[in-house]
Structure 1
Amino acid sequence: MAQLLLELFSEEIPARMQADAARALERMAREALAEAGLLPEALKTFAGPRRLTLVAEGLPEAQGDRSEERKGPRVGAPDQAMDGFLRSTGLTREQLTERDGVWFAVIERKGRPTAEIVAAMVDKIVRNFPWPKSMISGTSRLRWVRPLKRILCVFDREIVPFDIEGIASGDISEGHRFMGNARPFRARDFDEYREALAGHYVVLDVEERKERILEGARTLCFARNLELVEDQGLLDEVAGLAEWPTPILGDMDPVFLDLPPEVIRTSMRTHQKYFAVRDPASGKLAPHFLVVANLEAVDGGKEIARGNAKVLSARLSDARFFWDEDRKIGLADRLEKLKGVTFHAKLGTMYERVERIEALAREVGPLVGADAELAAKAAKLAKADLGTNMVGEFPELQGLMGGYYARAESLGDDLADAIRDHYRPQGPADALPATPLATAVALADKLDTLTGFFGIEEKPTGSRDPFALRRAALGVIRIILEKKLRLGLIGVLWPATNKALQATSSVAINQGIELETRAYVKAQGSSAAAELLLEAIGDAAAKHMSLEKTEPVVVELREFFADRLKVLLRDQGKRHDLVDAVFALGDDDLVRIVARVEALEAFLASEDGSNLLAGFKRAANILKAEEKKGPLPTGPAVKLPSAPAEEIALIDSLTVVTVRLKLAMPGEDFEAAMGALATLRAPVDAFFDKVLVNSEIKAERDNRLRLLIQVRDAMSAVADFSLVTG
C-alpha cells in the first residue's frame, strides 16, 4: 500500500475561504477515489495562506479488476434496441447471457494504475473546485481563487505526470516567501514535505498555527503582567494570514482608553486584526495590543510594533471623532432620519418598523414585568443609533452604541441597557437581555421581524434563511424558557402579526393607488382634503386586508416555533415526537410545554409508561377500525352485571385517575399526572388479556368501546400519544 501527496500552490488564499477549501478538497478526492474503487486507510487535508495539501495513506498500486453486469432488453426485443445495447457494452450478441427471458451483459474491466486515476482526479478537482470567488490569470483558461503556480503530486514516492493549463506536476514546493532559504525544495512523501516546510518557516497545520499564536501571545502578556483578550473568530482569521505566525506586543496611546472598550476592540479587530489585552487586576483594557506578524524580525518586532501603533492611533482618532460627533445629536432627534431608510420594500421604512416595535413593546412590557410606557420609549429609541457615524463605520456595534449614547444623555441605566440588549440573544451562546425592560424590547423586535417576513411570504426554505428568522425564533424561545415567562404564543403573535400585515397592506395599497392618487389630487387642485380622504381609504383597506390574513400567518408561525423548539430540545437530547405530542393539545405556553415534555419523557422511559403506550395504541387502533364501521357509542362505561372483574377494575381505575388528573393538571403538576396514568398500566394490561372487546352481545361491545374511549381521552389530556413513536 502506498501514499499519495498532493499540494496545490498559489498566490494568497483569503483566510475566510481556507477551511471550506480544505473540506472541499477532502470531499472531492474521497468521492473520486471511492468511485474508482480506491478506499484509502486515511485521508487528511490542510489549508494555509498559499497552499492546499492532501495526503492519502494506504492506497493500492492499481485498481482491482472489475466485473460489471448490465441488464439489457428482453429476448425478442426489436433489433434497434439490441443494437443500441451491444454498442453501449462493446460486446457481441454471442457474448450475452440470457436469464428469465432477459439479456444480460457481463463486462470485464481491467484495473487501471492508481497513478493514472490520480492524474485524472486532480485534473477534475482543479478545474471544478468550488471557490466562492475565482479568477483567470494571464492567458490561462483555468479559474482559481488566485493564480495557481505549482502542483506537487507524488504517489509511492514517484511523480504522477500530468499537465493542467501549462502547469506540469512535479515533486517541488517552496517555503516562506521571505524567511530563510527561499529556494524550492523537493519532497517525495508527506514526512519529507512537512519537515521541509518547517525548515523553510511554514507551519502546515492550521491548528498548530493557532496554538503557536496563543502560546506566544500568552507568554508576551504574562511577561508584562497583562492578559490576552481571547477572540476565537480573530484567531481563526489570523491563523489563515500567516505561514509562520509570530505574536508581537505593541503599545497603544493610553489617551484612547476613554473610548468605549467595544469601540477600541472593534477597531483593532476589524481594521487591523489586532488582539486586545487587559489588566488582569481591573479587568479593563490596557494601553497595548497584540499583532501577529508573518516573520521573525531581527529586532524582535520593535519596528513592526511601532509602525502598527501609528496605524492604530489613526484608526482610533477616527473613532474618537465619530464618538464626539455622535453625542452632539440626541437619539430622539435621529429618528426622523430613519424615515428615509427602507427596511424592506414590502414592509416600509425603518421608521415604520420602529413604530411597530414601539407598539408591541407597550403590549409585551407588562407581560414580562416591565412598565408599558418605558418599554415603548426604549423601543422607540432602540434603532436610533443606526444613523450614527460609529454604527455606520462599525455595523456590528448597533444597539451597543445606542446604549452608550443613551447613558451620555442621562436617559437612565435601565433604558440604556434595554437599547444595548435588544438584539440579544444573537446565537445559542449569546447572553439574554438582562432586565425585564430589555426583555420586552428584544421580544418586540424579534416578533416584528418574524411576523413581518412571514406576512410577505419570505419564509426560510431548506438552508436558505436570508433574514435569520430561525435565529429570531430561537431567540424568542430562549428568552421565554430561560426566564420562565408565562406567555402564550398566540397572545403575542396575534397583535404582532396584525401590525405587520397592516404595514404590508399599506405598502401594497399605497403602491397600487399612487398614480390614481396623484391624478385625483391634481384634478382637485392639490386639495388637502383629497389627500386626507385617499389616505384614510388606504388605511382602512390595509386594516381590512390584514385582518383577513392574520390567522393563517399566526398558524404558520406557531408551527414554525414548534419546529424551532424541537430543534432546541433535540440538541438537549430530547425526542421531537414528544414535542409534537404536547403541541398537538393546542397549548402555546412554551414553559408549560417543556415541563410537560420532560415529564412525558420520564414517564415513557419507565416500564409502566412504555407498556401503557402500547395499550393506548392498541385501544386507538380498535377505535379507529370501529369508526370506519359507523359512529362510536357515547357516554361513560358502566358496570354491567355480566362484566368480568378486569372490566370493572379498569372502570374503577379510570374513575380514580380522572379525579387525580383534574387535581394535577391545573397546577401543572405533570409528574403527578404521569404518576396517575402509570396506575392504569396494570388494569389496561389485564383488560386486553382477559376481555374480548368485540363481544357478540351489543351492550357489552358498546360498553367496552366506551371504556376504551375513556382510556384514550384520559391519556390525551396529558399528551397526544398517537404522535409518540415506539
Structure 2
Amino acid sequence: MRNENLLVELGTEELPPKSLKTLAQAFADNLQQGLEAADLPFESIQWFASPRRLAVKVHQLANKQLDKKVEKRGPAVSAAFDDQGNPTKAAQGWANANGITVEQAQRLSTDKGEWLLHVANVSGKALDELLSGLVDAALKKLPIPKPMRWGAKKTQFIRPVHTLCMLYGSDLINGSVLGLNSSRTIQGHRFHGDKTLELSSADAYLETLEQSFVLADYNARQQKISQQLTSAAANEGGRVELEQDLLDEVTSLVEWPVTLVANFENEFLDVPKEALIYTMKGDQKYFPLLDNNGNLMSRFLFVSNIESRDPSQVISGNEKVIRPRLSDARFFFETDKKRSLASRLDSLESVLFQKQLGTLADKSRRIAKLAAKIAERIGANSEHAQRAGLLSKADLMTEMVMEFPDVQGIMGMHYANHDGEHADVANALNEQYMPRFSGDDLPKSLVSCAVALADKLDTLVGIFGIGQLPKGDKDPFALRRAAIGVLRIIVELKLPLDLTDIVGDANTLLNDKFENQAVVEQVIDFILGRFRTWYQEQGVEVDVIQAVLARRPTRPADFDARIQGVTRFKALPSAQALAAANKRVANILDKNQVTADYTVDDSLLVEPQEKQLATQLKNSKAQILPLLQNGDYVAVLTELSTLGESIDGFFDNVMVMADDQALKHNRLALLLELRGLFLQCADVSLLRHD
C-alpha cells in the first residue's frame, strides 16, 4: 500500500475574515472524520487558510481503503431448510444476494441457535474513487449561515469558488467538487507575482505560494504579524496591545503582511482615548500605540497586504482614511460636553428597556434605589451609589455612544468627570458593566460594586418576573453572564451580602410589574446554579459542588468558603468512611421520619459507645460554633473528621432500632445531632470516592 501526502485546496473570492479560521478548522475536522469513517489510514492532518483559499494537507495518507472481511448473517438454519433438507426460498434469496450458493454458506453457532453465514472479503476502494465525495461532504458540513450562488451556476458556497486542486504526492487526483474539476492550478497573490500558479506536488504547496507572495500557513502568518507589530511598536518607543480577536481578523485579511506606521494630529488626543481606540480598531482594523504610561500616542500601526515600492503612498492613504473618523469622534465629544449627563435623564423616558419593565428612566431610578441599599450593606457611600445609579444610563443618549456603542459607560465616566461629579460616581458609570466578559476585571470601588450589582440584579429579577427565562442557548438578556458577574463580584471581593436580601430588595422595587410570587426563589436558584459551571472550570469536582448546593447557602462568599472546606475534607484519609457514615445516617433518619424535635436525653445513653459519641459530639459542637461564625469550614470539617472512630464504634456496637422505644428514639436523636453538625457545612453524604 502506498502512503503519500495529500493536498486539497479550494481557491475562492475573499472569505469573511471573522469566520475564516473557524471555516478552515471545520474543513480539516470534517475531512478527518470522513477519512476515518472511510477507513483510509493517515498520520496527521493540517489546515491552511488565507483570504482567498481554504486548504488541508493530510500526512501519509494511504492510497486505498484497508481490505476487510465482512460477515453477513443469513436466516436461521431451522428456517433455511425444509423438512426434506432442501433450501427454502429465504435461504436461496439470501445466498443469491451474496453471490454464493446455499451449500457454500458457513454456519454460525451461538447460544441462541445456528444461522447461515457468509464471510466476504471486501477490497478497499482507491482514494481516487472516494476523495471528491469526501471533500464535498466536508464542505457541506461547514458552518455557513448563508451560502450564495454565482453566475449561472447552481452550486452554493460562502463565496464564489474559482479553483480546486487535489494532489496526492505529485499525482493529480481527478474529481469534481462544487462544479469545478480538479487541476494543478492555484491562485497567487491578487496584486503580486503570478495570478495563477501550477503546483507540482502536495509538499511544494507552501513554498510555491510563498514565492508568489502568499503565506498560506495561517498560524505562521499570524506569528509574523505579531512580530512585526511588536518590533514596529518598540521602534516607535511605544507598545501595542495584541488583542486576539483583532489579530485573528487582520490575519484573515492579508496574505503577505507588511506592517507600517502612520500618524494623526496631536489635537485628536484631547478626545478620550477609548473612543479613538475603538475607532481605529473597530472601523479600520488598526493597532493603536500606547506609551509606557498607557497614554495613546499620535501614531498607529496597520498591516498592509502589499509590499509597496513607495510605502509612503500607502501610509498617506491610511492617514487620509482615519482622519475623518477621528474628526467625527472629536465632534461628538465636543458636542456632548455642552450638556451635562443629568440634563439627559428626561430623554431616557423615551427609550424602552422592556415593554413590561418600563423605560431606561424607570430602570435608572430602580438601579439608584437598589444601589443605595446595597451600598449600605457593604459599607459604601449610599449617596454616591444612588447618584451613580441614577446617571448610569444617561450616556446612552450622547452622540458619542450612539455612534460608538462599545464605549458606553466609559464615556459616561468622562462626561461625569467633566460635569464635576464625585470621582466615585464617575468611575461607577464605567465599572457598572464589569465584568463585561469571562476573566474581565471587577469594579475597583465599593460604590461601583453597588451599582454593578444593582444593574445586574434589576435585569435578572425583572426578566424572571415577566417569564422570559433563558432557554437552551438562547439568552437574549445575557442573564447567565449577569448571574456570573454577581457571583464574581461578591465572592472575589468577599462582600458580606446575602442573595435573599439583595434579590428581595430588587423584587420589592419591581413587584408592581408582575405577578410571579416565586421570582425571588427562582432568581436565587438561577444564580446559585451558575456556581456549578464556574467551579467545574476551576477543576472542583462535581460531587463537592453538589454537597454544598444541597444546603443552598445564599451568601456567595460563604458558599465559596464551604467549597474550599469540602474540597479539603474530601482529601482527608477519613473522608470516605465519614461520607459513607453520613449517607447511612441520612437513610436511617429518612426511613424513620425523624423530625427536628428529637432531642438527646443523657440519662438514656446506655452503651459505652453511644456515651462516647454523645460526649464527643458535645465537645466538637463547642469547638466548631465559633469556627462556623467565622466561616472557617476547613477547620470545622477537620474537627468533625475526628469523630470517625466514635461513629464506627457506635454502629458496630449499638443497636439503633432497639425494641425499647425510648432508647430507639434517643439513639435516633443522637444521629440527628451528628447529621446536623455535618450539615452546618455541606451534605457530605453526597461525596463520592471512586
TM over 0.5, shorter chain:
yes
Map residues 220-369 of structure 1 onto 2, 5 A cutoff: 220-280=232-292, 282-299=293-310, 301-369=311-379
Is 1:53 equivalent to 2:55 in the alignment? yes
Cα offset for 1:183? 3.6
Classify 1:387/1:76 alpha carbon distance in 2 versus 1 (closer, same or farther; 3 Å): farther
Is the deviation greater in 711-720 or in 314-323? 711-720
Find the residue that maps to 1:5 and give its secondary structure. strand
Find the residue that maps to 1:460 and give its secondary structure. coil
CA distance in 2, matches of 1:725, 1:375: 45
Is the deviation greater in 89-98 or in 340-349? 89-98
Q: Which residue of 2 aligns with 1:516?
A: none
Of 444, 457, 460, the residue aligned with 1:447 is 457
Can you give the 5+ residue segments of structure 1 that lack an aligned partner in the other structure? 506-544
Of 176, 179, 204, the residue aligned with 1:192 is 204
Q: Which residue of 2 aligns with 1:525?
A: none
Find the residue that maps to 2:224 and give its secondary structure. helix
Find the residue that maps to 2:324 and give its secondary structure. helix
Is 1:153 equivalent to 2:189 in the alignment? no
CA contact (8 A) 1:633 1:702 kept: no
CA distance in 2, matches of 1:198, 1:314: 36
CA contact (8 A) 2:147 2:158 kept: yes
Amino acid at match of 2:255: E
Is the deviation greater in 439-448 or in 19-28? 19-28
Of 204, 208, 215, the residue aligned with 2:220 is 208
CA contact (8 A) 1:626 1:632 kept: no
CA contact (8 A) 1:433 1:439 kept: yes
CA contact (8 A) 1:248 1:291 kept: yes
Is 1:34 equivalent to 2:36 in the alignment? yes
Cα RMSD, aligned residues only: 3.0
Cα offset for 1:557? 1.7
Q: Which residue of 2 aligns with 1:510?
A: none
Cα offset for 1:22? 1.7
Q: Which residue of 1 aligns with 2:522?
A: 556
Amino acid at match of 2:599: G
Map residues 426-445 of structure 1 onto 2, 5 A cutoff: 426-445=436-455
Find the residue that maps to 2:512 and give its secondary structure. helix
Q: Which residue of 2 aligns with 1:598?
A: 564
Classify 1:419/1:652 alpha carbon distance in 2 versus 1 (closer, same or farther; 3 Å): same
Q: Which residue of 1 aligns with 2:491?
A: 481
CA contact (8 A) 1:368 1:439 kept: no
Classify 1:223/1:496 alpha carbon distance in 2 versus 1 (closer, same or farther; 3 Å): same
CA distance in 2, matches of 1:73, 1:657: 72
Find the residue that maps to 2:18 and give its secondary structure. helix
Of 136, 141, 159, the residue aligned with 2:154 is 141
1:337-396 per-residue CA deviation (whole Å, 9 max, x = no partner) reads 222222233433222222222222232221232333332221111111111111111100
Q: Which residue of 1 aligns with 2:46?
A: 44
Of 165, 170, 174, the residue aligned with 2:183 is 170
Can you give the 5+ residue segments of structure 2 that lack an aligned partner in the other structure? 81-88
CA distance in 1, matches of 2:15, 2:329: 30
Is the deviation greater in 633-642 or in 439-448? 633-642
CA contact (8 A) 1:339 1:349 kept: yes
CA distance in 2, matches of 1:386, 1:641: 71
Map residues 626-665 of structure 1 onto 2, 5 A cutoff: 634-636=598-600, 638=602, 643=607, 645-665=608-628
Classify 1:85/1:6 alpha carbon distance in 2 versus 1 (closer, same or farther; 3 Å): farther
Classify 1:635/1:83 alpha carbon distance in 2 versus 1 (closer, same or farther; 3 Å): farther
Q: Which residue of 2 aligns with 1:535?
A: none
Q: Which residue of 1 aligns with 2:688?
A: 725
Cα offset for 1:3? 2.1
CA contact (8 A) 1:632 1:705 kept: no
CA contact (8 A) 1:127 1:143 kept: no
Q: Could you tell me the percent identity over the aligned residues?
A: 34
Is 1:66 equivalent to 2:68 in the alignment? yes
Of 631, 636, 647, the residue aligned with 1:668 is 631
CA distance in 2, matches of 1:321, 1:102: 89
Q: Which residue of 2 aligns with 1:588?
A: 554
CA distance in 1, matches of 2:91, 2:459: 63
Cα offset for 1:19? 1.6
Map residues 499-518 of structure 1 onto 2, 5 A cutoff: 499-503=509-513, 505=514
Find the residue that maps to 1:16 and give its secondary structure. coil
Classify 1:680/1:377 alpha carbon distance in 2 versus 1 (closer, same or farther; 3 Å): same
Q: Which residue of 2 aligns with 1:678?
A: 641
CA contact (8 A) 1:140 1:165 kept: no
Amino acid at match of 1:341: V
Find the residue that maps to 1:149 and give its secondary structure. strand
CA contact (8 A) 1:339 1:351 kept: yes
Map residues 682-721 of structure 1 onto 2, 5 A cutoff: 682-694=645-657, 703-721=666-684
CA contact (8 A) 1:86 1:93 kept: no
Classify 1:126/1:679 alpha carbon distance in 2 versus 1 (closer, same or farther; 3 Å): closer
Classify 1:10/1:553 alpha carbon distance in 2 versus 1 (closer, same or farther; 3 Å): same
Q: Which residue of 2 aligns with 1:371?
A: 381
1:479-509 per-residue CA deviation (whole Å, 9 max, x = no partner) reads 1112211110011112213434533x3xxxx
Is the deviation greater in 650-659 or in 704-713? 704-713
Classify 1:285/1:642 alpha carbon distance in 2 versus 1 (closer, same or farther; 3 Å): closer
CA distance in 1, matches of 2:228, 2:422: 43
CA distance in 1, matches of 2:397, 2:419: 16
Find the residue that maps to 1:56 and give its secondary structure. strand
Cα offset for 1:640? 5.6
CA distance in 2, matches of 1:105, 1:63: 24
Q: Which residue of 2 aligns with 1:537?
A: none
Classify 1:256/1:574 alpha carbon distance in 2 versus 1 (closer, same or farther; 3 Å): same
Aligned length: 675
Is 1:393 equivalent to 2:409 in the alignment? no
Is 1:610 equivalent to 2:576 in the alignment? yes
**TM-score when scaled to structure 2?**
0.91
Of 567, 570, 583, the residue aligned with 2:536 is 570
**TM-score when scaled to structure 1?**
0.86
CA distance in 1, matches of 2:154, 2:678: 69
Q: Which residue of 2 aligns with 1:528?
A: none
1:38-63 per-residue CA deviation (whole Å, 9 max, x = no partner) reads 34321121222111111112322211
